[in-house]
Structure formats: C-alpha cells, structure tokens
Structure 1
Amino acid sequence: MTVVLTERGPRDPARRSPLGLLVTPLLLAAACAALWLYLRGQDLDSIESRSINRDVITEQLLEHLRLVAASTGLVIAIALPLGVLLTRPGLGVLGTPLLMLANIGQAVPSIGVLVLLAVTVGVGFQEALIALVLVSVLPVLRNTMVGLRGVDRALIDAGRGMGLTRTAVLFRVELPLAVPVMMAGLRVALILNVSSATLATFTNAGGLGGLISTGIALNRTSILLTGSVLTAVLALACDWLVGLAERYLRPRGL
C-alpha cells in the first residue's frame, strides 16, 4: 500500500515528462506564428492596418487579460469559501437547493447576462466584470461542493480518529482530495471567462471582442481571424496553466 501512495508509476507520465508539458505551448506558439505569417502574406488595406497593428492588439489583449484575471480572482474568492461552507454540517441543508440553482443558472447565456446588466446598471468595465463573475461562478461553486462531498467518509473519520480537528481535516484531508474536481470547475470557469469577455466589447469594456466585432461589421476576414485566433489561444493557454497547477496540487497517488 505504501508503494501505491508514494510512487506515481506509469499511470501519469505527463506529470514528470517535460516533453508532455511542452506540447500545448508549442502548438499555441505554432498557431500564433501561422497567424503572423498569414497576415504578412496579406495586402492589408488602411482599415485592416489600423485595426491589427501591434499597439491595438496589445491594448485589447491587455484589456481582455484584465477582465479575465479580475473576474477569475473574484470567482475564486466567492465560490471556494461558499462551497466549503455549504458542505459543512450546519449549512449542509442549503447545499442541495443551491446546487440545483447553480445547475439551472449554468444554462443562462452570457450575452443575456451582459445585456441585462447593461440595461439595468449601465456599461463599462465594472458592469462587464459583474456579468463575467455571475456567468463563471457556478461551475466553481458546483465542483467545490461535489468534490468535497465525494471525499470518502472513512478517510474523514480516520483523520478525526488520529486527533485532527475539523479544520485540520478540511485542509489536510478533504481539500487535497477534492483538488481534481475543484480544478476542473476552475478550468471551465476560465474558459467561460475568456470566451464571454469577447462580448464585453458591446458594453464598452474593451477586450479582443473589439477585433471580432470590427471584422464582422466591416467584412474584413483578417481582422476577424486575428481576434478569433488570439481568443482561442488565450483560452487554451489558461486551460493549460490550470491543468499544470492541478498536476502539482493533487495528492500523490490519485
């Protein structure tokens, strides 16, 4: 039993293989290089040159990253503690109805939340940030609760039997064992944030959605392709980073 818990063996070679960890970044770099070569081979007109130059792309990419980073940070700060609280014995009765509400709320389209907030609250960075949090908080909350509820009760009782307090059992037994499920929810939330942030351009919050909407409005394929490829690359890069964190946060032996 000791060997199983301390040795990964051949079950997860990508965790220790540098080559396995570099596949995704190399593919993303190749996609960016292919986009650059495509744009260099095009005879860009004045409109395209003004829309996809270095300054504009950098500005919109940074706006997009600010939206994603701020909304994801708020989601983690809200959903993780709330998910933990709703699995504790005193508040467990509220967990099931809120989990059902989270499952229903996941079906609400992102554009609907953005438009509703724009009409009722206004437009701008803060309004788009609220919409992104509302859209992406649900998978993190749901997976936190599901992950903690899925921990074997025998392991919790064993920890208590060893003299650990409830808080120690939570941080040393329950949360480590729930990491894979919790990180899966965070990956979903990040991808939702990156994709939904493209819609923030319609609420005057900036982001790569500006390139996409400009390309559609002006029928410029090069502008549309630039915004779409960069958004996809950013989403996959975020997913890879969370997956990398999961490899090193999950307990050995899982």
Structure 2
Amino acid sequence: MNLLSYLLDPANWPGGGKIIDLLLQHLTYTAAAVVIGALIAIPVGILIGHTGRGSFLVIGTSNAARAIPTLGLLVLVVVLLGTGIEKIVPVLAILALPAILTATAAGIGGADREAVHAARAIGLTETQIVAQVEWPLALPLVISGLRSATLQVVATATVAAFAAGGGLGRLLISGQRQNDYPQMFAGAALIAGLAIVLDVLLSGVGWLAGRTTRARRAVDRAVLQAEQDTDTPSRSEALT
C-alpha cells in the first residue's frame, strides 16, 4: 500500500472538502484562536509583569488550562451550541492563553531594570515606560509564547473534526471510517508539515525581534554610559 497515494492524487487537492479547503479551515481555526488568546493574554500579561502583582493568576490560568479535557470541552460546546467556527475557536483560544500570558508577564517583568529606572529618571510615564522600554525588550519572549501557543492550537485543532468541525482532522476521521490508510497518513503528514512551517516562520520572527532587541540594548547601554561619563566631571567640578 502506497501511503503517499492520497497526497499525490491531484483530484484530492482542489474543491470543497478536499485538502486545500481543509488546510484553509485549519489555518483559520489556528489564526483566530491565537489572535483571540493574544488579545486577552497580552494586556493582562503586561499589567502583571509591569506591576509585579497577580502572579497567582498566571500560575492558576496555566494549570487550569492544562487540566481542561479538550475533546470533552469541544463535544460539550457542540452539543450545547452547535457546530461552526464561532463555536470551536473560543475553545481553542482557551488553550492559547497560558503560553502567551506566561511569556508576556515574564518578558515584561524581566525587562532590564537599569533601562526602566533610567526611563523613570528622565520623567517617562508608566505607559511610556511599558511602550518604549519594557515591551520592546519583552518582544522576543512574547513571540516565543505565541509560537508555543500556535503549535499547541495547530495540534489540538485536529480534535475539532471529532466535534463536527472542519480542518485537517477530517482526513483522519474519514480515513479511519473507511480504513483508508493513505488518507489518514496524508492528514497526519499535513498537520505535522503545517506545524513545522509555522514554527519556522515564527522562529524567524523571534530571531529578528531578538536581534533588534540586542541592538536596542547596546544603544541604551551606550547612552547610559555617555550620561554617566558626562555627569562624572560635573560632580568633580562641583566638589572642587
């Protein structure tokens, strides 16, 4: 049995319910869930990281989300509310919350304290400190959290097919029902390939953000050093 036969058959790619359609559905589920998760988790993470309060919320949210049975929750949502992307995506967004929230809070809270103190010393407001100092320094870690969340949602979105949803998981379900192993192999390969592609793309974005952050830190250190060098003669003159 040729496990690649389903992937190599051009008839299985275009059209409704075929590979391209299911791939777009899977991407839609993933993108919508991660965006919703980010819109909730990033502001909360910034607030927690900047103020240093509410760390229990990060731990509690992470533990609670990991304890949720995804398939059971999806089936419950379908039974109570019916099928459709607007029903499936919020469940997947819950899974994206912990990684983004934890990464954002850690990134903001772990920003260079010298840069933060210098920003306060020159009179920046707390909002300006977050926007101009802490957020740029935390961005690589935030992207890492988005990356983890995306990979988790891509994998879990496969379960949406069991809850009468769409996505590449339908290839696994249909293949299992029909004992069509090439179709099941195609679904598994496409899901793994999609996860790898998204991981590489987000890794590249994270690398660029990290490079920008390192350059920004170097500039900030140079500015601080220049200010210290300027203040030192002034103090010496004042003493004399």
Tell me which interval the TM-score lies in, with the shorter structure as reference length.
Answer: 0.7 to 0.9
Contact 1:125-1:204 at 8 Å conserved across structures: no
Report what 2:35 is aligned to: 73
- Separation of aligned partners in 2, 1:39 and 1:230: 14
Q: Aligned residues, how many? A: 210
Report what 1:161 is aligned to: 121
Aligned letter for 1:87?
A: G
Aligned letter for 1:80?
A: I
Quote the offset at 1:40 in angstroms: 7.5
Aligned letter for 2:188?
A: S
Report what 1:99 is aligned to: 58
Aligned letter for 2:23?
A: L
Aligned letter for 2:4?
A: Y
Report what 1:27 is aligned to: none
Quote the offset at 1:53 in angstroms: 4.2
Q: Which consecutive residues of structure 1, in runs of 5 or more, have no partner in the other structure?
A: 1-35
SS in 1 for 2:166: coil
- The worse-fitting range, judged by mean Cα deviation, of 103-112 and 62-71 is 103-112
SS in 2 for 1:164: coil
- Separation of aligned partners in 1, 2:64 and 2:188: 27
- Separation of aligned partners in 2, 1:213 and 1:127: 20
Report what 1:119 is aligned to: 79
Aligned letter for 1:141?
A: L
Quote the offset at 1:39 in angstroms: 2.0
Quote the offset at 1:88 in angstroms: 3.8
Quote the offset at 1:113 in angstroms: 2.6
Report what 2:220 is aligned to: none
The residue correspondences of 1:55-204 to structure 2 (distance < 5 A) are: 55=15, 56-89=18-51, 92-93=52-53, 95-107=54-66, 108-204=68-164
CA offset digits 1:154-174 (Å, max 9, x no partner): 321012113322222212211
Quote the offset at 1:150 in angstroms: 1.4
Which has a greater percent of helix? 2
- The worse-fitting range, judged by mean Cα deviation, of 243-252 and 119-128 is 119-128
Tell whether 2:38 aligns with 1:38: no
Task: Indicate the RMSD between aligned Cα atoms, in angstroms.
Answer: 2.5
Quote the offset at 1:122 in angstroms: 3.0
- Separation of aligned partners in 2, 1:41 and 1:114: 28
- Separation of aligned partners in 2, 1:171 and 1:153: 15
Q: Percent identity?
A: 32
- Separation of aligned partners in 2, 1:76 and 1:212: 29
- The worse-fitting range, judged by mean Cα deviation, of 188-197 and 241-250 is 241-250
SS in 2 for 1:196: helix
Aligned letter for 1:77?
A: L
Quote the offset at 1:37 in angstroms: 9.6
TM-score in terms of structure 1 length: 0.74
TM superposition outliers: structure 1 runs of 4+ over 4 Å: none
Match of 1:229 among 186, 189, 195: 189
SS in 2 for 1:87: helix
SS in 2 for 1:54: coil
Report what 1:11 is aligned to: none
- The worse-fitting range, judged by mean Cα deviation, of 241-250 and 187-196 is 241-250
- Separation of aligned partners in 1, 2:142 and 2:99: 9
Quote the offset at 1:71 in angstroms: 1.2
Tell whether 2:202 aligns with 1:242: yes
Contact 2:6-2:183 at 8 Å conserved across structures: no
The residue correspondences of 1:20-31 to structure 2 (distance < 5 A) are: none
Contact 2:155-2:191 at 8 Å conserved across structures: yes
Tell whether 2:179 aligns with 1:213: no
Quote the offset at 1:187 in angstroms: 0.6
